[in-house]
Amino acid sequence: MTSQSDVSLTNSSNLSVKNGSALKLYLVTDSLMCQKLGLVQTVCEAIEGGVSFVQLRDKKADDDELYQIACELKEAIAGRVPLVINDKVHIAKKAKLDGAHIGQGDLSVTEARHILGPDAWLGLSINTLSQLQHAHNNHLDQLNYFGLGPVFATHTKPDHASPLGLSGLDDLAKASLLPTVAIGGIQLDNARQVYQTHCDGIAVVSAICAADDPKIAAQDLLQQHVLAQ
């Protein structure tokens, strides 16, 4: 299912209108898991397989390293899909990425939007209905989508909040006034169930980054979307 949030939000200068369809298969990077092929090749092959959105996430790199990675990845992606960065809004601005994704403990939505400007993508992590309501009441016109999760327990983010489960995820997705992407513990064997909720898409890390063939891994995940319809 898809939510009713497939509405145009803002226009990007170099990408398609911001709507839920861009979130269908959202890749969050992990440099260690991508070591076999390298980060850039892994991401590019995943895009060939159908990844529709990429978030650069690297908690171990310092700002200078992250900026260099961001620039290299941006050049390789060449505008084929949106490229945002996790947390480091100032690097998104400096590297001229397509936007950023922030969590509840990061800088404020208002500050992030001010840094990024009006046309960039800005996503916010949501784990509870109260967080969602707060975002609706205070930042609806500053955000483009919500990342809902974790759906399941995941080793890629050991300090995560309590898992929502499929029912909790669906409740949040149905309540959301913006497009939503589900994240946390999503693999090939449970992707279809997540696609059957009201989320607009799924976000994965190890399901693609740790795959022997990122292109095929992406294609297999998208097949679960087809089967979920």
In the annotation, is 192 catalytic?
no
Catalytic residue among 57, 88, 113, 215: 57
Q: For residue 125, indicate whether it is catalytic.
A: yes
- Asked whether residue 118 is assigned to any structural domain, the reply reads yes
Residue 220 lies inside a defined structural domain of this protein: yes
Q: Whole-angstrom Cα distance, residue 221 to residue 49?
A: 9
The residue range of the domain holding 198 is 20-227
The answer to whether residue 93 sits within a structural domain is yes
The pLDDT assigned to 158 comes to 59
Active site residue 113: no
Whether 11 is covered by a domain: the verdict is no
Domain count, the chain: 1
CATH of residue 213's domain is 3.20.20.70
Position with higher pLDDT, 9 vs 89: 89
pLDDT in tens, 137-167: 999 999 999 999 999 987 765 566 789 999 9
Annotated ligand binding at 157? The verdict is: yes
Q: 185: annotated binding-site residue? A: yes
Report yes or no on 47 lying in a domain.
yes
Q: Flag whether 1 is in a domain.
A: no
From 31, 52, 125, 176, active-site residue: 125
Please tell me which residue in 18, 88, 157, 215 is annotated as part of the active site: 157
Q: Using the predicted structure, report yes or no on whether residue 6 has a pLDDT greater than 60.
A: no
Do 149 and 127 form a contact (C-beta atoms < 8 A)?
yes
Task: Please state at what angle helix 129-139 crosses helix 165-175, rounded to 10 degrees.
Answer: 20
Annotated binding-site residue? 64 = no
Q: Convert the pLDDT of each residue in 118-127 to its tens digit.
A: 999 999 999 9
